[in-house]
Amino acid sequence: MGKRVFNFYAGPATLPYEVIKEASENVLDFMDLGLSIIEISHRSKEFDDVIKKAASDMKDLLNLGDEYSVLFLQGGASLQFAMIPMNFLGEGETADYIDTGRWSSKAIKEAKLFGNVNVVASSSDKNYTYIPDVKTLKFTDGASYVHITSNNTIYGTQFHQFPDTGNIPLVVDMSSDFMCRELDMNRFSLVYAGAQKNVGPAGVTVVIIKRDMLERIKREVPIILKYETHVEKDSLYNTPSVFGVYVIGLVMKWLKKIGGLKEIERINREKAKLLYDAIDDMSDFYRAVVDKDSRSIMNVTFRIVKEELEAKFVEEAKKNGMVGLKGHRSVGGLRASIYNAMSLEGVKTLVEFMKDFARRNG
């Protein structure tokens, strides 16, 4: 095997090496069955154990009660943009959205196909470089739900406080910060996340749904797109991403082993601090992009003051074993995605490289 590099891509993203190793062995032979994990039946006893364990470990880690179901769906977070209003936003009704970037905007666009959308706050006035103050928000009376994007992968902002929506269900796109910290999950009615950012490979979308949401279904929707269908069938209405669910199960096992969300949050905060401190300490050379109190601990966006050096930075980082540091094509600049599986060592290596690069080019 070639040398592993540090993977700072925003998604699909880095996974723990021990997870990749165990998965690779089971691609050859799963549990001595003489079968690969990528060829066993989704109706087999062995896979049934895998999917149940992945869901129950996830529930344990998140401290979720029996009133919540964990689903493993397909179609990406992007299908959730459409499924949520299709199920929960009746004609003539209003859903409230907070617009904090490209993914929120996409979610809003889908919702408008089904009902009214009230954008209760937006940070578009400053290029999405901050999270609106959640304490001053006014929600629509009788809104069907409030939708937010907890971490804005492209811009590098993150909600550090959540709005109090009272009786209105709070729906959260947690794709890029799912399971990165301890949160009181009871305040959310529906949480969804494309697995490929923080908990697994591409091809699975995790949906956590409070079961009382099922009483709020507003219209006839295709059976495959009804949450009820997947809750009733435990994500086995049709063939799920067998391999994807299996790898998520391994990631849950890894998270439990290292000490759960409390410990991963501690490590994530340490990694983020190292990186932001480096940027702030070298502010004559690097520049953080977003407001300090909105900074994401998952996606760290920054610029080089002399922007023409950014391409060289990305190139040289790659030569030094660090890939994926180019910012999203819509905003440019630099971005280091430091999800759960990015090691402290990886971040320290990047910080050393940043210091050296600044010294040589300053």
Ligand X SMILES: *Cc1c(COP(=O)(O)O)cnc(C)c1O
Q: Would you please indicate which residues are annotated as catalytic (active-site) residues? A: 103, 173, 197
Nearest residue to ligand X on Cβ basis: 76
Is 78 a binding residue for ligand X by CB under 6 A? The answer is yes
Kind and range of the H or E element at 253? helix 242-258
Select from 99, 173, 265, 310 the one that contacts ligand X (CB under 6 A).
173
Instruction: Tell me if 99 contacts ligand X by CB under 6 A.
Output: no
Q: For ligand X, which stretch binds (CB under 6 A), given 54-62, 65-73, 172-180, 216-224?
A: 172-180
Structure tokens at 294: 């909105």
Calculate Rg over the CA atoms of the chain.
Answer: 21
* Distance of closest approach, residue 278 Cβ to ligand X, in angstroms: 24
Q: What is the DSSP string of 81-133?
A: HHHHHHHH--TT-EEEEEE-SHHHHHHHHHHTTTSEEEEEEE-GGGTT-SPPP
* Complex with ligand X: residue 101 or 346, whichever CB lies closer: 101
Q: Which two tokens stand for residue 163?
A: 């709005």
Phi, psi of 47 (to 5 degrees): -70, -35
Segment interacting with ligand X, rule: CB under 6 A, options 114-122, 168-176, 311-319, 338-346: 168-176
What is the three-class DSSP state of 162? coil
CA 200 to chain centre: 10
Among 70, 77, 252, 331, binds ligand X (CB under 6 A): 77
- Chain mean position to CA 65: 22
Site size toward ligand X, by CB under 6 A? 12
In angstroms, give the least distance from the CB of 154 to ligand X.
8
Within 10 A of 106 (CB to CB), how many other CB atoms are there?
16
Tokens of 326: 């180019």
Smallest separation, CB 284 to ligand X (Å) = 32
In terms of CB distance, is 87 or 153 closer to ligand X? 153
Is 129 a binder of ligand X (CB under 6 A)? Answer: no
Q: Which stretch binds ligand X (CB under 6 A): 41-49, 170-178, 248-256, 324-332?
A: 170-178
Interactions with ligand X, residue window 10-49 (CB under 6 A):
11
Which residues make Cβ contacts (< 8 Å) with residue 330, sequence separation at least 6?
102, 154
- Is the CB of 30 or the CB of 163 nearer to ligand X? 163
Residues at the site binding ligand X, with contacts judged by CB under 6 A:
11, 76-78, 103, 149, 153, 173, 175-176, 194, 197
